[in-house]
Copies of this chain bind each other. A is one copy, B any other.
Amino acid sequence: MDPSSPTPADQLYTAVLSDILDELGHREQAMRPFVRPCDESLAMFGRVRTGLYMETFSLRDGENPYELEIRLVDDLKPGEVSVLGCGGPTERIAPWGELLSTAASARGAAGCVTDGLVRDVRQIRAMKFPVFHGGIGPLDTKGRARMVEMDTPIECGGVRVRTGDMIFGDVDGVVVIPAEVADEVVTRARRKIMGENRTRDELRAGARLGDVFAKHGIL
């Protein structure tokens, strides 16, 4: 899957991707509902780059607490999404804000997903950069948390995520698509969307749900 190709984010949505992943036996791919979009009007689709955070209670001598997250952001490629696991829900770890959004956006990144907190919500919305978060709060991470692993398998929002997986987010939430099945999932999702269009049209015209489901098998 080439994440830098024109993203199909506008033509897909999480619900249909989740249904297809269910069909393929991947039933634990939707992040928990506390992970919400910063801007409900934006959809996001891209290739995962993981970061893992831990809570800390002191700064070590000479430590740059942002060292690893700076390295991750500066290494983002076009179409990539930083996925930052904070063991959320959390009230203390807030790994993302305006300046990181600005830097990531300048590298062509497709978005950011975290189960930690974000800040600078107004500015992030103004940038139209897609961010999905586990809550909003003004705290900085300095002295409260530290990114300790980059590109390792993590959990974020209750879902296992690896660098190289594809990730999709919209107003309904965030779905992780394992790299191995990404192409198949997108292909099947497009097909299912067409079926849903027919179902919707018949329902609008007043058809009974029972008849329509018997005919198309879609709900």
Interface residues of A (CB under 8 A from B): 13-15, 17-19, 22, 27, 30, 32-33, 36, 40, 52, 54-58, 60, 64, 66, 70-71, 73-74, 85, 87, 91, 97-100, 102-103, 106, 117, 119-122, 135-140, 142-143, 148-149, 152-155, 158, 160, 170-173, 175, 196, 199-200, 203-206, 208-210, 212-213, 218-219
Contact of A18 among B33, B140, B172, B219 (CB under 8 A): B140
Tell me if A142 and B22 are in contact (CB < 8 A): yes
Which residues of chain B come closer than 8 Å to A209, judged between CB atoms?
70, 73-74, 99-100, 103
User: Nearest 3 CB-CB pairs, A to B?
Assistant: A54-B54, A14-B138, A18-B138
Residues of chain B contacted by A117 (CB below 8 angstroms): 33
Give the Cβ gap from A29 to chain B, nearest Cβ, in Å: 9
Contact B121 A172, beta carbon cutoff 8 Å: yes
Which of B13, B32, B66, B171 makes the CB contact (< 8 A) with A91? B32
The interface residues of chain B lying within 8 Å CB-to-CB of A212 are 103
CB distance from A197 to the nearest CB of B (A): 11
The distance in angstroms between the C-alpha atoms of A171 and B87, with both chains bound, is 24
CA distance A17 to B121 in the complex (A): 15
Q: Kindly state the separation between the CA atoms of A17 and B158 in the bound complex, as whole angstroms.
A: 25
CA distance A13 to B136 in the complex (A): 13
If the complex has contacts A33-B91, A99-B199, A148-B148, are A140 and B19 also in contact, measured as CB distance less than 8 A?
yes
Query: Within 8 Å CB of A60, what residues of B?
Result: 152
A137 engages B102 (CB within 8 Å): no
**Distance in angstroms between the alpha carbons of A97 and B18 in the assembled complex:** 13
Contacts of A98 in B (CB 8 A): 15, 196, 200
Q: How far is the CB of A202 from chain B (nearest CB, A)?
A: 9
6 more A-B contacts (CB under 8 A) besides A30-B139, A66-B213, A99-B203? Answer: A13-B120, A15-B98, A54-B148, A58-B153, A66-B219, A138-B173
